[in-house]
């Protein structure tokens, strides 16, 4: 199954069958109390343009439409609670939930997840460290996000150790040539850059996460042929990671801008596009 759904996530996921997904990844709003937007531009050749590029050619820049959303909640935990309860219902017995947050709300959400899943179902707190962008001069710069991993059943869950991508040793000479050549498995701190502005991976979506980050999660915590769910789908990174690794996906987002980005990005995989609120919600092959 490869599906993109434009809908309010809680209303839609409540219609999905119980125990249907082995892996759910969620990157909800972070409650930054700011409007999230990324500026998108493109260069256009123009002999009278104000900018000069390669070989002296002149060009101008044009603004492109960019998705935008207000990231502000009076009670963020109350907003997440029914959605996380649905996530618990939707997981298979060996399924895992990953919730991606930052320092603002992660401690409150962990307490909520302990209540829903049980404290024994908490498996890992994974730190994604990226060390990119501006640096504060009045505090230690915040350069990491947190991923909370909960298993439906802490005694049995999917963890494909052999599928973990290996990373270089920090001191390869101490490891020896054989180990250095093989690399090591990551710990619970994942050093990865954000999606660079000039990257072909960049979609212009304001909170896009790196494909490499989602591929690691998808490969290790699900199996080929299974379907991954993401109901805060945004730019569709979860869907691309799933499709590239032989999995299906169900991506849900209420934003027309997000759905438009996902349709363009995932067009090679021909997902069905569903809008349950449309007058005639017929899946469309793409």
Q: Which single residue is written with the structure tokens 């649905």?
A: 86
Q: Return the residue matching tokens 């082995």.
A: 22
Q: Are 204 and 265 in contact (CB under 8 A)?
A: no
Give the span between the Cα atoms of 286 and 88, in whole angstroms: 31
Token pair of 277 as six digits: 């609120």
What are the extents of the domains in the chain? 2-35+70-278
Q: Are 184 and 178 in contact (CB under 8 A)?
A: no
User: In DSSP terms, which residues pair with 261 in a beta bridge?
Assistant: none
How is residue 36 annotated by DSSP?
Answer: E
Digit-by-digit pLDDT tens for the chain (286 residues) are: 999 999 999 999 999 999 999 999 999 986 655 554 444 445 567 777 776 665 667 766 665 555 654 555 678 899 999 999 999 999 999 999 999 999 989 999 999 999 999 999 999 999 999 987 788 899 999 999 999 999 999 999 999 999 999 999 888 888 889 899 999 999 999 999 888 877 888 888 888 999 999 999 999 999 999 999 999 999 999 999 999 999 999 999 999 999 999 999 999 999 999 987 665 444 443 3
Distance CA 219, CA 246 (A): 9
pTM of this prediction exceeds 0.85: no
Q: What kind of architecture, by CATH, is found in domain 2-35+70-278?
A: 3-Layer(aba) Sandwich (3.40)
Identify the helix (H) or strand (E) that includes residue 239.
Answer: helix 237-244
Q: Give the tokens for residue 190.
A: 């994942």
Cα end-to-end span (Å), the chain: 13
Q: What is the pLDDT of residue 45?
A: 73
Cα–Cα distances (Å) from 188 to 146, 159, 185, in that order, read 10, 14, 10
């Amino acid at each position: 199954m490869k599906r993109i759904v434009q809908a309010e996530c809680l209303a839609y996921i409540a219609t999905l069958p119980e125990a249907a997904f082995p892996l759910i990844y969620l990157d909800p709003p972070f409650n930054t109390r700011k409007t999230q937007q990324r500026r998108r531009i493109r260069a256009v050749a123009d002999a009278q343009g104000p900018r000069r590029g390669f070989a002296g050619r002149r060009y101008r820049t044009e603004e492109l439409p960019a998705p935008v959303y207000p990231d502000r909640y009076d009670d963020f935990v109350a907003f997440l609670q029914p959605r996380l309860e649905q996530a618990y219902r939707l997981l298979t017995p060996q399924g895992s939930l990953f919730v991606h947050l930052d320092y603002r709300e992660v401690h409150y959400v962990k307490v909520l997840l302990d209540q829903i899943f049980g404290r024994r179902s908490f498996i890992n707190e994974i730190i994604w460290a990226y060390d990119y962008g501006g640096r504060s001069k009045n505090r230690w710069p915040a350069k990491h996000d947190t991923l909370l991993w909960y298993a439906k059943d802490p005694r049995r869950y999917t963890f494909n150790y052999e599928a973990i991508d290996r990373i270089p040793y920090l001191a390869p000479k101490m490891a020896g040539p054989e180990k250095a050549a093989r690399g090591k498995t990551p710990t619970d701190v994942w050093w990865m850059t954000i999606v660079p502005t000039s990257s072909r991976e960049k979609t212009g979506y304001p909170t896009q996460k790196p494909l490499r980050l989602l591929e690691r999660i998808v490969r290790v915590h699900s199996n080929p042929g299974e379907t991954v769910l993401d109901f805060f789908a945004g730019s569709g990174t979860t869907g691309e990671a799933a499709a590239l690794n032989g999995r299906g996906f169900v991506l849900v987002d209420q934003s027309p801008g997000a759905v438009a980005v996902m349709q363009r990005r995932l067009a090679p995989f021909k997902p069905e596009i569903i809008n349950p609120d449309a007058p005639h919600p017929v899946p469309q092959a793409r």
